[in-house]
Chains A and B, each alone.
Chain A
Amino acid sequence: MARITLENIKKTFGKVTALDGVSLDIKDKEFFVLFGPAGAGKTTILNNIAGIQVPDEGFVKFDGEIVNLVDAAHRDTAMVFENYALYPQMTVYDNMASPMRSKLYHKDEDYIKTRVHEIAAMMGMEHLLERLPSQLSNGQKQRVAMGRALVRMPKVYLMDEPLAHLDAKLRNAMRTELKSIQANFGTTSIYVTHDFMEAMSLADRIAVINEGKVVQIGTGDAIYDLPCNEFVATLMGDPEINLIPGKLAKSADGYTFTMQEGGMTYTLPADKAPFAKLDEHGKSEYDLALRPQHLSYSFEPKEGYLKCTVYSYESIGNKSVIIAEAGGQQLRMLAPNGLRVQIDQDVYVDLDLTHALFFDAETKDFVARYNEEAIRAIAEPEEGSDA
């Protein structure tokens, strides 16, 4: 159990900058998720915390103590590697026992036996204990890798995409299991993923990482509802958020928004708070962002609906996604399964602008959204209370 602090970590590999001034403050007992696209530097952050790599600049602190010069063995962490990194010559049992057989974290064989069996039972892999890693499927290897980390009670668990290779059912089960393990042990956990569902469901807080920098830190809800820029907005959520570039113009009783493609002009619903922010920002080019669930459609022409054609219709399980096209503008929206939809048929789309977010078209940064106050109150409940 420990509070992990990173201060302005920089790390380069040759000419490639992997981390460019990363600062994080991970609280004791927190489940902290590092989320970002491939190559963002998430794994490098974990390696720096584990002590596998040493930052070129900046400090890694455990409970306020600088550990830059403490080697990986003495940092008391447990790590799940993305490529499993199982010891090929050892059985699953010996792999899992390995952390408890080192001189530093030594436990007696009786304890090891109970502990390994306990964890193996939890992961449903007791029947695999005598096998060698080469005799396991990828999903099983990944569970062994998890098990090897969970047998110990380190200061921090570092997990690099530990569920990526499990099948969907097992992944959901393990996600629940992980969350409860973490809650029970109360061990600080840092978890790397590129799956936003995983990030949202597991995290106490999420840090969105891109190109070696921390883009945004916050609770899942805060990042989902108040993304700090378009990159974060598009990364969180599936189907992806709709970005509609257009012009904002001041009218008598508020604002109108004219889409760049599609040609529709909307009168924005009156609301003081976002209008004040837009006033303050003072620009006219914006990207209006709207989650797919806030678009509705009709196959009959309706007043105020935008005429589009169907670009695609695909099922995502319990519901489907319609992608409609108006000019060059694509709009994603949710629809029930089993609709008889033809590609290129007409569809009429309505935007529920009371959920709209506004991004500066040039800098792509967040400017304003509707209901910001209310959302902030829900999404950041502990703000300032235990920082």
Chain B
Amino acid sequence: MKKTETSTGMKVLLNVLLIIYAVFALFPLVWMVLLSFKSDAQMYNTMFVFSPTLDNYRQVLFKTDYPRYMRDSLIVSGLAVVVSVVVGVPAAYALARYNFKKKEDIAFQILSFKFAPEILVVLPLFIIFQKLHLYDTYLGLIWVYQLISMPLLIWVVRGYFEDISVEIEHAAQVDGYSWWQIFFKNLVPLIRPGLVSAALLAFIFAWNEFTFPLLLAGSKVQPITVAITKFLGTDTAHYGQLAVAAVISALPAIIFALVIQKHLVRGLSFGAVKG
């Protein structure tokens, strides 16, 4: 009996701690949402009680280029993930199935792209992009985003391929299927959970990317992360509009995270953990 009492006490304590952490983590988001409904006049002199207005939203969505930035973000992040999938899945297959010299070195090299601080490579990239006329283009950003989205995808999908016994492919060959048929009919369904979660996670990473678009894109291509800073003028700061821009730009990431939440943990850990 005593044991149950203490464990009940522990439960309460744990929950309190979790609640404290949740408040700590979520308050900035709540504050941002609140700000987005405040008018400039009420910005500094109200806390939770104010007369909400949709002016900021109207302003951002209809009076600025906000939809264009949103579109740019979608194009760059979306296509970056598409390229990652098209290139990364075959790469993962090769790393899982074939034996070639320096295989592990190559695999680790790919992963290490993710370790390097972006600011470290961005300066040489800037110069190279200028020379190649990739500066401020969709192609340039999609290309450089591969550093962010590809390593994760390759490593997760590789784990899935390694878990599929090679005899399954052999069996399908003997059954009379061609390699492409085997790939799409037998392998893709088996890697799908990992592929979907890795791709969505890669999308979120790409969406949140700031350093590369800040320095490698200018006025023609502007993802939302960079565009938001525009609302901070040199003389005036429209915090309300800034908040609106941030809230809307966070939506896709939040929606995706909620949708895949269930698959995310399973999808990412299933292939990696050998059982």
Which residues of chain A have a CB within 8 Å of any CB of chain B? 47, 50-52, 71-75, 77-79, 81-89, 98-99, 102-105, 148
**Stretch from B151-159, B163-171, B234-242 at the A interface:** B163-171
Task: Identify B176's interface contact among A47, A52, A87, A105, CB under 8 A.
Answer: A105
Residues of A within 8 Å of B175, CB to CB, are 73, 98-99, 102, 105, 148
Q: Are B170 and A81 in contact (CB under 8 A)?
A: yes
Q: Are B174 and A72 in contact (CB under 8 A)?
A: yes
| Binary CB contact string for chain B from 158 to 201 against chain A (1 if under 8 A, 0 otherwise) | 00000001011011111111100100001001100000000000
**Interface-centre pick from B167, B175, B189 (highest chain A CB count, 10 A):** B175
Q: Would you mind naming 12 contact pairs between A and B with Cβ atoms under 8 Å apart?
A: A50-B170, A52-B174, A72-B170, A73-B173, A73-B174, A77-B174, A81-B167, A81-B170, A85-B165, A86-B168, A89-B189, A148-B171
Which residues of chain B have a CB within 8 Å of any CB of chain A? 165, 167-168, 170-178, 181, 186, 189-190
**Interface-centre pick from B165, B174, B186 (highest chain A CB count, 10 A):** B174
Task: Identify B171's interface contact among A74, A79, A105, CB under 8 A.
Answer: A79
Counting residue pairs across A and B whose Cβ atoms lie within 8 Å, the total is 65
Q: Are B165 and A103 in contact (CB under 8 A)?
A: no
Give the 6 A-B CB pairs with smallest separation, nearest first: A102-B176, A85-B167, A104-B176, A72-B173, A85-B171, A99-B175
Q: Are A51 and B173 in contact (CB under 8 A)?
A: yes
**A78-B174 contact given A83-B165, A83-B167, A85-B165, CB 8 Å threshold:** yes
Q: Are B165 and A73 in contact (CB under 8 A)?
A: no
Minimum CB–CB distance for B267 against chain A, Å: 15
Looking across the interface, which residue of chain A has its beta carbon closest to that of B167? A85
Looking across the interface, which residue of chain B has its beta carbon closest to that of A71? B173
Residues of B within 8 Å of A51, CB to CB, are 173-174
Q: CA separation between A74 and B186, bound complex, in Å?
A: 19
**A85-B173 contact given A73-B178, A102-B181, CB 8 Å threshold:** no
**A87-B172 contact given A73-B177, A73-B178, A102-B181, CB 8 Å threshold:** yes
Q: CA separation between A71 and B170, bound complex, in Å?
A: 11
Residues of A within 8 Å of B190, CB to CB, are 88-89
Q: CA separation between A102 and B179, bound complex, in Å?
A: 12
Minimum CB–CB distance for A264 against chain B, Å: 53
Minimum CB–CB distance for B95 against chain A, Å: 18
Minimum CB–CB distance for B41 against chain A, Å: 60
Q: Are B172 and A98 in contact (CB under 8 A)?
A: yes
Minimum CB–CB distance for B187 against chain A, Å: 10
Task: Identify A102's interface contact among B165, B167, B177, B189, CB under 8 A.
Answer: B177
Residues of A within 8 Å of B168, CB to CB, are 85-88
Q: CA separation between A99 and B177, bound complex, in Å?
A: 8
Minimum CB–CB distance for A164 against chain B, Å: 15
